[in-house]
Amino acid sequence: MRIKFNSSSKLLLTAAASLLAAFAISACSQFTQTLTVDFVYVLSSKAAGANQYGEIDVFEINSESGRMRQIPTSPFPSAGRNPVAEAVSADNANLFVVNQDDNTLVQFVIGTDGKVYPFNTVNTPGIYPMAVAVTQSNVFVVDTYQPLPLCSSADPCSGSIGVYPLTSGGSSSSAPCVATVCLGAPLVNAAVNGSYWPLTLSGASANDVVVPTAVNVLASGGYIYVTAYDSSVSPPVGYVFGFSVASGGALTALPGSPFAAGVQPSAIASDPTSTYVYATDSVSGSVLGYQVCPGGVLYAPSAGCGASATTAYDTFPAGGKPSAIVVDPSYPFAYVANSGDATIEAYSISSGNLTDIGTYTTGLDPIAIGIDPSTNHFLYSVNFLGNTVSGFELSISAGTLLDSQFSPYTTAAQPVAAAAVPHNGTGAGIQK
């Protein structure tokens, strides 16, 4: 039997063949391409598992919808008790986590699939680490108390900062370790004959207890700033301690440091040009703006460098109990998480000034905030009491936020921090 096709049948067959070919290409693309634009590491402090460690939830961000989804085998143990802060290395290949109850800094190697593998653990120089920052050359750890014999939660003393130099690792026999970067011994501060730089006041306040709250290193790497407050007076008095960072990592206090910082500063961030620094004040419900002047000295942007100003900073309104702040690395916007209001406040930036452009709802008690490093187009908040992370799509033209698909996303209990790395260096997210 012979089958004869008319012209319309041939057209249908040709169309079917084209669809089949298109499907084959699409199916192939699913195996060779990915919509994952970033991996986000959400740190949860509540004890879990046999060792009572905290946990690290690893989420992948979809470049089209912004949806955050946990990767297989997530979460991972934080390799310590009560983890409170984290940061990634400049090459995006290592995650550094500080565990407060164990006084440890843990280095994790990040796999190409986003998974993390504990590689090295060291003790921090002081007592109860609470913040960490990383540059290409150093890891900076802020401790709640200095490493003095009488310092404890029962008998507190002022905080301190320690510096761990980073060296290049690799697979060669001469490399100090097989990771891409290796932690060196903490640097020694000759002034105190110890591996820390104290965060203390002078004069009549020299014996007051200074409580550190956050740390930020400028993108240039030349200066580092720590927010803190004097807990020995009521109401508290806020400060920003500033240090210059030498080529080897050693710190030198800046002229005029510490700088005034409201009542009780809670977080700190800087812009990508290393020109402006912003700190949140959780008591006054405001953002404090500074200009980085020659030598790292901080002045109010409205006053200008070297001016005789009656105030050390400019003040911009925020929501209730602002707890975290982030500045977009590519676009002129800043975002503040207000833990008391369960909101994010969005601002545009012009010459250091912040202009409010909108308020957006998060999960309960947002205490950390971040922006995806691939596109600077997706934003997320870590919601401590909600046990969630909220995802948003960021408009690069207006700075406004739109909820990501299926946001918020469940995390382990009591999430406290977030850090992110690009997926294979891609930047394929949508731009709006």
Segment 51-76, tens digit of pLDDT: 999 999 999 999 999 999 999 999 99
Residue 13's pLDDT band, with cuts at 50, 70 and 90, is very low
What integer pLDDT is reported at residue 59 of this predicted model? Answer: 97
- Distance from C-alpha of 302 to C-alpha of 280, rounded to nearest angstrom: 18
What integer pLDDT is reported at residue 17 of this predicted model? Answer: 47
Say if 9 falls within a structural domain.
Answer: no
The mean pLDDT value for 95-102 works out to: 97
> Is 375 buried (19+), middle (13-18) or exposed (0-12) by CB count in 10 A?
buried
- Flag whether pLDDT at 422 surpasses 50: yes
CA angle 323, 326, 329 (to 5 degrees): 175
The mean pLDDT value for 238-259 works out to: 96
Which residue from 347, 328, 349, 352 is spatially nearest to 276, judged by alpha carbons?
352
Q: CB–CB of 336/355 below 8 Å?
A: no
Which residue from 191, 189, 167, 284 is spatially nearest to 229, judged by alpha carbons?
284
Q: CB–CB of 368/324 below 8 Å?
A: yes
> Is 16 buried (19+), middle (13-18) or exposed (0-12) by CB count in 10 A?
exposed
What integer pLDDT is reported at residue 417 of this predicted model? Answer: 98
Say if 3 falls within a structural domain.
Answer: no
What integer pLDDT is reported at residue 174 of this predicted model? Answer: 87
pLDDT digits (tens, 9 = 90+) for 324-340: 999 999 999 999 999 99
Say if 15 falls within a structural domain.
Answer: no
Q: Which amino acid belongs to residue 157? A: C
CB within 8 A of 399, min separation 6: which ones?
A: 331, 332, 333, 346, 347, 348, 357, 358
What range defines the domain where residue 182 resides?
35-422
- Flag whether pLDDT at 195 surpasses 80: yes
Which residue from 22, 128, 23, 45 is spatially nearest to 382, judged by alpha carbons?
45
Which residue from 393, 285, 384, 284 is spatially nearest to 336, judged by alpha carbons?
285
Residue 154's pLDDT band, with cuts at 50, 70 and 90, is confident
- Flag whether pLDDT at 12 surpasses 90: no
Q: Which amino acid belongs to residue 109? A: V
pLDDT digits (tens, 9 = 90+) for 269-300: 999 999 999 999 999 999 999 999 999 999 99
Say if 428 falls within a structural domain.
Answer: no
Q: Which amino acid belongs to residue 256? A: G
Residue 424's pLDDT band, with cuts at 50, 70 and 90, is low
- Distance from C-alpha of 383 to C-alpha of 390, rounded to nearest angstrom: 7
CB within 8 A of 93, min separation 6: which ones?
A: 109, 110, 179, 180, 181, 421
Say if 12 falls within a structural domain.
Answer: no
CB within 8 A of 392, min separation 6: which ones?
A: 66, 344, 360, 378, 379, 380, 381, 401, 402, 403, 404, 407
The mean pLDDT value for 40-44 works out to: 98
- Distance from C-alpha of 154 to C-alpha of 426, rounded to nearest angstrom: 49
Say if 431 falls within a structural domain.
Answer: no
* 32-41, 118-127, 215-224, 232-241: the lowest-pLDDT one: 32-41
Say if 81 falls within a structural domain.
Answer: yes
CATH number, domain with residue 191: 2.130.10.10
CA 287 vs CA 34, 36, 219, 262, 270: distances in Å: 38, 33, 20, 9, 12
Name the helix (H) or strand (E) containing 181. Answer: strand 181-183
Whole-number mean pLDDT of the chain? 90
Say if 11 falls within a structural domain.
Answer: no
Number of structural domains found in the chain: 1
- Flag whether pLDDT at 31 surpasses 60: no
Question: Is this prediction's pTM over 0.75?
Answer: yes
Q: CB–CB of 389/408 below 8 Å?
A: yes
- 308 compared with 149, residue with greater pLDDT: 149
Residue with tokens 């440091």: 257
What integer pLDDT is reported at residue 191 of this predicted model? Answer: 96
